[in-house]
Amino acid sequence: MRAHPVFGDSLIAGFLGLPDLAGLGAATGSTPRLAYLLASVLLVVPLVFRRARPTLASYLILAGGFVQLVTHSFPGDSPLIHLADFSLGIALYTMVVYVGRRQGAIYAGWLAIGTVGWEVWRIREPVAAASTLFMVVMIFAFCWAMGEFVGARRAYNAEVMERLKLLATERDQQARIAVAEERTRIARELHDVVAHAVSVMVVQADGAGYALGTDPALARQALTTISDTGRQALAELRRLLGLMRGEEQGEIGLLPQPDTTALPKLAEQVRAAGLPVELIMTGDLRDLPAGVGLSVYRIVQEALTNSIKHAGNGASATVTVCRTDGQLDIEVCDDGFGTPRELSGVSGGNGLIGMRERAGVLGGSLDAGPRPGGGWRVRAVLPVGATHSA
């Protein structure tokens, strides 16, 4: 019924209207059958579309009540209140919930006029009039109270949904801002690598030009260096294609960037901060591309920083950097038991976002999550060329 409200309202209308329809074949006193049928239809049928057109449906039901007041007269043994009359209370509830309190109060005023007229005109006995008046007032009061409750609930739910949409939009915007900032930072760092490579190529080309006539071997060595440096710079430029950004040359730092050779010093710094670290480095890590070496250092640095923040007292960490042909595996594990860290990386700090962006820029991947035996694990896989001499 919640998924299909028209179906539910149709069941309510049928439940309230069937007794009156069945009464068409019984004695109706001096009430014309056409008036009896018109009042029944006006009281019941608008319930079907009361949610879609609440004001129209409610006032059609009110019109049916006034038709019943003016035209109906029943034998003495007939009930004073018919089942279809409860649709007036449903209409009051509908006005309060779907239209508003002010319009509901106006509608309640019309109901009060009709009720008093019905009591004075149709019910002559004071005891019966008092008892029915009390019953009708209680029914309408209950319908008003239910309308207030449901209307407030609907308004609260609508406000909560709106806030959730705003929070989701804000979260997405924060994630995009964090990604843009991280990509800009990566682009600045890789700028130093590319600028250095181009500078080396220019110097070597000038030297080769001077030595071409006097020392062909030296010129050949310079050309070889130019070729290797150019290939490495071209690979870095390809990785930068997806990092379009505005030039901010005044903010670009020209200091040398760390790489895998700086990992032992990083481990010592973390040990001094109170987290025992075991560093395992296997494979040839000397001739990694500068951008890859920088990303390895930053990923390990961020993962160890998170371990310091969240692992808790007495924890230790293990850093493994292993190079095989065509692949570089980085794994940082701790055995802590501290606060859980974010898996999505979009609702708070941007550490995991930064690590994933670094791995993604280089064509790799990064996974982070709790270890089965306790603690936290960060693993990154970065593609690199086959091992070769520098």
C-alpha to C-alpha distances, 51 to 59, 89, 362, nearest whole angstrom: 13, 15, 56
124/262: higher pLDDT? 262
Residue 160 falls within a domain, yes or no?
Answer: no
Comparing 5-14, 118-127, 157-166, 205-214, the range with the smallest average pLDDT is 118-127
Listed residues 124, 150, 167: the one ending a domain? 124
Residue 378 falls within a domain, yes or no?
Answer: yes
Provide the residue range defining the domain that includes 322. Answer: 260-383
Q: Which residues share a beta bridge with 278?
A: 318
Listed residues 65, 99, 124: the one ending a domain? 124
Specify the pLDDT at position 346: 37
Average pLDDT of the residues of the chain? 79
Residue 164 falls within a domain, yes or no?
Answer: no
Mean pLDDT of 277-281: 94
Comparing 4-13, 153-162, 333-342, 359-368, the range with the smallest average pLDDT is 333-342
Residue by residue, DSSP assigns 329-359 as EEEEEE----SPPPSSS-SS-SHHHHHHHHH
- Are 192 and 253 contacting, i.e. CB atoms less than 8 angstroms apart? yes
Strands (E) located in the chain: 277-282, 317-324, 327-334, 365-370, 376-383
**CATH code of the domain covering residue 373:** 3.30.565.10
Specify the pLDDT at position 36: 78
Task: Output the furthest CA–CA distance in the chain (Å, rounded).
Answer: 133
Residue 87 falls within a domain, yes or no?
Answer: yes
Residue 295 banded pLDDT, cuts 50, 70, 90: confident
Q: What is the pLDDT of residues 172-209, one digit of tens each?
A: 888 888 777 777 766 666 655 565 567 667 777 877 88
C-beta atoms surrounding 274 within 10 Å:
10
Comparing 66-70, 76-80, 102-106, the range with the smallest average pLDDT is 76-80
Q: What is the pLDDT of residues 85-110, one digit of tens each?
A: 889 999 999 999 998 889 989 999 99
Q: At what angle do helices 101-121 and 54-71 cross, to 10 degrees?
A: 10
Q: Kindly report the pTM of this predicted structure.
A: 0.45
Residue 354 falls within a domain, yes or no?
Answer: yes
**Helix, strand, or coil here: 289?**
coil
User: Torsion angle, CA of 10/13/17/18, rounded to 10 degrees?
Assistant: 40
Specify the pLDDT at position 60: 92
Whether residue 288 has pLDDT greater than 80: yes
Residue 139 falls within a domain, yes or no?
Answer: no
Specify the pLDDT at position 324: 86
Listed residues 97, 124, 151: the one ending a domain? 124
286/77: higher pLDDT? 286
Specify the pLDDT at position 73: 62
Q: What is the pLDDT of residues 242-267, one digit of tens each?
A: 544 444 443 434 445 678 888 998 88
Residue 241 banded pLDDT, cuts 50, 70, 90: low
Residue 276 falls within a domain, yes or no?
Answer: yes
Residue 33 falls within a domain, yes or no?
Answer: yes
Number of domains observed in the structure of the chain:
2
